[in-house]
Amino acid sequence: MLPVPNRFALVTGRAEGETPLTAFDAALLDAGVANVNLIKVSSILPPHAQPLAELVLPPGALVPIAYGRLVSAEPGTRIAAAVAVGRDEPGRFGMIMEHTAYASASEVEATIRRMVEESFTIRGGRPREILVRSVEHVVERCGCVFAGCVLWYGG
Amino acid sequence: MLPVPNRFALVTGRAEGETPLTAFDAALLDAGVANVNLIKVSSILPPHAQPLAELVLPPGALVPIAYGRLVSAEPGTRIAAAVAVGRDEPGRFGMIMEHTAYASASEVEATIRRMVEESFTIRGGRPREILVRSVEHVVERCGCVFAGCVLWYGG
Amino acid sequence: MLPVPNRFALVTGRAEGETPLTAFDAALLDAGVANVNLIKVSSILPPHAQPLAELVLPPGALVPIAYGRLVSAEPGTRIAAAVAVGRDEPGRFGMIMEHTAYASASEVEATIRRMVEESFTIRGGRPREILVRSVEHVVERCGCVFAGCVLWYGG
C-alpha cells in the first residue's frame, strides 16, 4: 500500500494574478506549496499524525493534500478560504475540512467549525480540539484564496 | 514507481445529509470508505487483481479509487449510481466504469454494462465477465448515492 | 513519502467516440496512456527528471500525470490541446503547463509558451528551454483532444 502520512501542516495563501491559473499558482507560492505535485485527497487526518513545525517539501515531490480554493475576477469582492482539523482522542484519526466563500475570514472560520462538528456527529463523536487556519482577500483584478492541509511524512 | 494494487472491492453507499458535503460524507460511511484519504484514479483493474472478501482500510490511508457520485436536494427524486468491472482473460487487465444518473438502479446497471462493453470493443476485445454493483435512493431532503471500485493491496 | 518521479514524457491524443467518455478513453489510447490508473497532479517537473525515449507503462499502474482535455460534440469544430515543460538550469525543478481551447494547434502552442514564461516570471526566473507538444482535431461527431505530461520512474 501507499505509505500512510504521519505529519500534517495547515497552509493558506492569497494572491493576485493575470489569469485565474496564474492567481492560483501565486496563491500556492504564498502558501508554500507551489513547487510540488499536489495530489488532491478526501480528507482524513491519520491517527498519531503530528503537526509540522516547518514545512519543507522537496521540489517535484508527490504531496497528498486536502484543499479548497476560490478565484474571483470581480474587483472589490471579498473572498476567503479556511481549513480545519478536528480530533477527539489522541491516537484516533481526525477530520479535515476545507471551505471557501465570498465572505470574510471570520465567517468561513465559523462555518468550518460547524462542518467539523457535523462530521464528528455523523460518526457518533465530538471533537475535543479543532485547529483552524483561514485567509481573506479583497480582489484587485484577479484574486485567489487557498487553504489546505498537507499530509506528509517525518521520522 | 508507486506500488500496483492487486486487490479490489466494489462498494456502494447512499445517505441523507444536511448539506451536499455532509450527504457525501455519510454516503462514504455507508460504503465503508469514509475514514480514509480517497485518491481518485481513472480506471483500470490491474492484471491478476483479486476481489477482497472483506474490505479493511487503515484510517487515514491513501486509497486509490475510481468512483462516481450524485447529490440531489430535490425531495422525491430518484438517483442511482453503479460501478462495474469487466475482464476478458485471466491475467489481463480489466476495465472499471462508474455511472450515476437520475434513474433507477436497474437503469444505471444496464447503462454501465454497455459502457464496459464499449471500452472493450475500442481495445479490440470482449468482456467475459462483468461484475456490477449499484445503489438507488429517493431523496428526502439532500441525498447522495456513491459507487466506486477501491484498488488495494493484499499478500 | 511517495517516491519522486525522475522521468517524464509529453503525450498527446485525439479521437472520436460515441459519447464524451468513450471519446476521452479513445484519446487516452491514442496517447498511449489508456491502460493505467491516471492520478492527476499539479504540475512540477522534479529536478533532474529526464525525458523517456519510450513510454512503457505496466497495465493498471498508478501513474502521476498533469493533463488537459477538451471534448466537443459540435461537428466541424476545431479543438486543440497542448502540454509544455519549461526548465531554466539543469538540476532545478521545471514547470509543467497544460492548455486546451477551441483553436488550432499553433494557437494553443503560442498560449502555452506564454503560460510557461509567466510561471517562471512569478518565481523570479526565466525558462532556458521549453518543450511543447500539441494536437488538434476537427470534430466529426464527438471528439476529444488530450495532452499531458506523464511523471514516471527509471533507473
Tell me, what's the pLDDT at A82? Answer: 98
What band does B90 get if pLDDT is binned at 50, 70 and 90? Answer: confident
8 Å CB contact of C151 and A37: yes
Q: Is there a domain that residue B144 lies in?
A: yes
Report the pLDDT value the prediction gives residue C87, as an integer from 0 to 100: 94
Nearest beta carbon to residue A4 from set B25, B58, B64:
B58
Contact B98, B145 (CB under 8 A): no
Does residue B89 carry a pLDDT above 90?
A: no
Q: For position B140, what pLDDT does the model report?
A: 98
pLDDT computed for residue A19 by the predictor: 84
Is residue B2 in some structural domain?
Answer: no
Using the Cβ of C1 and the Cβ atoms of chain A, whether some distance falls under 8 Å is answered with: yes
Residue B56's pLDDT is 94
Within 64-83 of B, beta carbons closer than 8 Å to A belong to: 64
Q: What's the mean per-residue pLDDT of chain A? A: 95
Q: Count the domains in chain C.
A: 1
Q: Which of B7, B33, B37 to mutate to test the interface with A (most CBs of A within 10 A)?
A: B37
Cβ of residue C62 closer than 8 Å to a chain B Cβ: yes
pLDDT in tens, chain C (155 residues): 999 999 999 999 999 998 888 899 999 999 999 999 999 999 899 999 999 999 999 999 999 999 999 999 999 999 999 999 999 887 899 999 999 999 999 999 999 999 999 899 988 999 999 999 999 999 999 999 999 999 999 98
Within a domain: C2: no
Residue A2 covered by a domain: no
In a domain, C59, yes or no: yes
pLDDT (mean) for B28-35: 96
Q: Is A1 contained in some domain?
A: no
Indicate the residue of C2, C37, C153 with minimum beta-carbon distance to B44: C37
Positive or negative CA dihedral for A40, A42, A45, A46? negative
Contact (CB<8Å) C37/B66: yes
Q: What is the pLDDT of residue C3?
A: 96
By CA distance, what is C21's nearest residue in B?
B115
Q: For B29, list phi and psi in degrees, rounded to 5.
A: -60, -45
Report which DSSP code applies to C2.
P
3-state secondary structure chain B: CCCCCCEEEEEEEEEECCCHHHHHHHHHHHHCCCCCEEEECECEECCCCEECCCCCCCCCCEEEEEEEEEEECCCCCEEEEEEEEEECCCCCCEEEEEEEECCCHHHHHHHHHHHHHHHHHCCCCCCCEEEEEEEEEECCCCEEEEEEEEEECCC
B109 labelled catalytic: no
Percentage of residues in chain B having pLDDT higher than 70: 100
Q: What number is the average pLDDT over the span B76-80?
A: 98
Percent of chain A with pLDDT over 70: 100
* For helices B20-31 and A105-121, angle between their N-to-C axes, nearest 10 degrees: 30
pLDDT at residue A57 above 90? yes
- For chain A positions 8-37, those within 8 Å of chain B (CB to CB) are none
Report whether pLDDT(B18) > 90.
Answer: no
> What pLDDT is recorded for position A23?
92
Q: Which residues of B touch A45 (CB under 8 A)?
A: 60
Chain B partners (3+ C-beta pairs within 8 A): A, C
Please check whether residue C1 lies inside any domain of the structure: no
Query: What per-residue confidence (pLDDT) applies to B93?
Result: 94
Q: Give the CATH number of the domain where residue A99 resides.
A: 3.50.20.10
Tell me the nearest-neighbour CA distance from B18 into chain C, angstroms.
30
What the block records as the C-alpha cell of C62 is: 498508478
Torsion of CA C140, C143, C147, C150, to 10 degrees: -130
CA-to-CA separations, A60 to B55, C30, C48, in angstroms, rounded: 33, 27, 10
Instruction: Please identify which of the residues A43, A72, A119, A134 carries the catalytic annotation.
Output: A43
One-letter amino acid for residue C6 of the chain? N
Active-site residue flag, B37: yes
Q: What is the pLDDT of residues A6-54, one digit of tens each?
A: 999 999 999 999 888 889 999 999 999 999 999 999 989 999 999 999 9
The answer to whether residue C41 is domain-embedded is yes
| Residue C125 CB burial class (10 angstroms; 0-12, 13-18, ≥19) | middle
Task: With CB atoms and an 8 Å threshold, state whether C37 touches B151.
Answer: yes
- B111-124: per-residue pLDDT in tens? 999 999 989 998 89
Of C39, C40, C44, the CB nearest to A36: C44
Does B3 touch chain C if contact means CB atoms closer than 8 Å? Answer: yes
Which residue would you say has higher pLDDT here, C115 or A137? A137
Q: Which domain holds residue C53?
A: 7-152
Grade residue B23 by pLDDT with cuts at 50, 70 and 90. very high
* Residue C132, min C-alpha distance to chain B (Å): 24
